[in-house]
Amino acid sequence: MAIYEEINKIKSFAFEEISKTTDLARLEGLRIKYLGRKGELTQVLRSLEKYSGKERKAVGALANESRVGLENEIGKRQKYLEEAEFAKILEQERVDVTASLEKIPLGHLHLTTSAIRQIVDIFKALGFYRVRYPEIDTDWYAFESLNMPKSHPARDEWETFFIDSANSNIVLTPHTTNGQVHEMEKGQLPIRMINIARCYRRQSDISHAPMFHQFDGLLIDKSASIGDLKGTLEYFVKQFFGPKRKVRLRPFHFRFTEPSFETDISCDICGGTGRLKNGQICRLCKEGWLELGGAGMVHPNVLRAGKVDPKKYSGFAFGWGVERVIMMKEGLNIPDIRILYENDLRFLEQF
Ligand code: PHE
């Protein structure tokens, strides 16, 4: 009789232990403890040979039934523990999509970058493409090829930084006009380029930064005329500044254009009057007009320097400051051009 009791005892102990287990590793330990090769119930089954006949059958049946019962119980507990574990992971890894996050500050393009993009887009509509040439260039592209031989006094206006005083042939480009002969040297005509780059000059005041940007347009074709130049400039001014701003063309002199013009646009700070509301003279323009930059018909010597035949081709060119056009754009009253590059967020975030 003792064997039946033993089996039942094992079974009830096992059931209790199983129901108390809270982790899967320990549950596996219990499976081995009772049902493994050397497990308690397995051993009882092994001892069956001691019995015979009816008794053997009865003990065997009880032992088997207990084994199946234990296996089921372990299976159930396993499933329960696995589900509990999964639920725990879900809880731990839960993301609260309603929780408020710290706001990540969003940046935006610098005023100069967005102006450059607008300029490129406007000229693109007229068939101009953007080119880029070195900002450290030789004296030849910056001056000589532009009809400004060495020691010509006209050079003084371009307050040039020389890379190495011992080798004054290399300069920081003082204007983007250095791109013109580079572009002609490609040997592909007609040309409709816009060269936009940084320029450098030894000057610093409310309307000059030592590093600034220019966009230099060059068109070379078989019958380029002053009328085409004027139409192009007016198109740009209307698109960029709006129809309200006034444009003035003044005869001027550049070594690389003939005839040459200076293009002015009415000042936005004083409304083109040269005086502020309080009667003081406008610090920015002083006389109601702001100089945008130069323009003119490409000088035959420049065409020759670029190996373009002036008898067959003519061209017009213009070179304006990007910062200047930003300052003059409607609604932007910037009292000092240098603030653009001081990286003061209080200023930059306003745009
Ligand atoms: N390069 C001239 C400047 O820096 C501007 C200019 C460009 C004038 C092209 C005429 C033609 O002032």
Quick: pLDDT tens for 285-308: 788 887 888 999 999 999 999 999
145 C-alpha vs ligand 1 centroid, how far in Å?
Answer: 14
252 C-alpha vs ligand 1 centroid, how far in Å?
Answer: 11
In angstroms, the CA 147 to CA 158 distance is 14
Closest CA to 210 of 172, 177, 168: 172
178 C-alpha vs ligand 1 centroid, how far in Å?
Answer: 10
- Is the model's pLDDT at 333 over the cut of 80? no
Q: What is the rounded average pLDDT of the residues 65-76?
A: 91
* Domain identity same for 198 and 75: no
Domain-embedded: residue 198: yes
Which of 165-169, 205-209, 268-272, 330-334 bottoms out in mean pLDDT, i.e. has the lowest? 330-334
- Is the model's pLDDT at 78 over the cut of 90? yes
Can you tell me which residue has the tokens 């406008």? 282
CA atoms within 13 A on the CB side of 341: 13
Number of compact structural domains in the chain: 2
Residue nearest to atom 8 of ligand 1 (CA): 294
Q: What is the rounded average pLDDT of the residues 4-8?
A: 87
- Is the model's pLDDT at 201 over the cut of 80? yes
Q: How far is CA 235 from the centre of its chain?
A: 30
End-to-end CA distance of the chain: 96
Which one has a higher pLDDT value, 173 or 59?
Answer: 173
- If one residue of 128, 145, 173, 175 were mutated to test the ligand 1 pocket, choosing by the most ligand atoms within 8 A of its CB, it would be 175
* Domain identity same for 78 and 137: no
Q: Which atom of ligand 1 is nearest to the CA of 176?
A: 1
User: Pocket around ligand 1: residues whose beta carbon is below 6 Å from it?
Assistant: 175, 177, 216, 254, 257, 293-296, 317-319
Residues 6+ apart with CB under 8 A from 180: 145, 146, 195, 216, 218, 256, 298, 302, 306, 317
318 C-alpha vs ligand 1 centroid, how far in Å?
Answer: 6
Domain-embedded: residue 98: no
pLDDT confidence of residue 156: 86
* Domain identity same for 124 and 272: yes
* Domain identity same for 169 and 22: no
Which one has a higher pLDDT value, 108 or 167?
Answer: 108
Domain-embedded: residue 106: no
Q: What are the DSSP E strand ranges found in the chain? A: 129-131, 136-138, 162-164, 167-172, 191-200, 211-221, 247-254, 257-266, 289-298, 314-321
Q: Convert the pLDDT of each residue in 257-282 to its tens digit.
A: 999 999 988 777 787 888 988 999 98
293 C-alpha vs ligand 1 centroid, how far in Å?
Answer: 6
- If one residue of 141, 202, 216, 262 were mutated to test the ligand 1 pocket, choosing by the most ligand atoms within 8 A of its CB, it would be 216
Domain-embedded: residue 26: yes
168 C-alpha vs ligand 1 centroid, how far in Å?
Answer: 22
284 close to 335: Cβ distance less than 8 angstroms: yes
Domain hosting residue 79, numbered range:
2-90
263 close to 248: Cβ distance less than 8 angstroms: yes
Identity of residue 23: D
- If one residue of 156, 171, 176, 177 were mutated to test the ligand 1 pocket, choosing by the most ligand atoms within 8 A of its CB, it would be 177
Tokens of 125: 């509509």
* Domain identity same for 206 and 297: yes
* Domain identity same for 42 and 172: no
pLDDT confidence of residue 328: 75
213 close to 321: Cβ distance less than 8 angstroms: yes
Domain-embedded: residue 101: no
- Is the model's pLDDT at 95 over the cut of 60? yes
* Domain identity same for 84 and 145: no
pLDDT confidence of residue 75: 93
pLDDT confidence of residue 45: 80
In angstroms, the CA 202 to CA 208 distance is 9
Phi and psi at residue 272, to the nearest 5°:
85, 5
- Is the model's pLDDT at 324 over the cut of 90? no
Q: Which atom of ligand 1 is nearest to the CA of 218?
A: 9
Q: Which atom of ligand 1 is nearest to the CA of 157?
A: 12
* Domain identity same for 47 and 144: no
Identity of residue 129: Y
Q: pLDDT grade, residue 119 (50/70/90)?
A: very high
The secondary element (H helix, E strand) that includes residue 29 is: helix 24-35
* Domain identity same for 297 and 190: yes
Which of 74-88, 231-245, 320-334 bottoms out in mean pLDDT, i.e. has the lowest? 320-334
* Domain identity same for 62 and 148: no
Q: Which atom of ligand 1 is nearest to the CA of 217?
A: 9
276 close to 310: Cβ distance less than 8 angstroms: no
In angstroms, the CA 81 to CA 102 distance is 38
267 close to 247: Cβ distance less than 8 angstroms: no
Which one has a higher pLDDT value, 193 or 324?
Answer: 193
* Domain identity same for 266 and 123: yes
* Domain identity same for 86 and 117: no
319 C-alpha vs ligand 1 centroid, how far in Å?
Answer: 4
In angstroms, the CA 348 to CA 248 distance is 31
Identity of residue 248: R
In angstroms, the CA 103 to CA 86 distance is 33
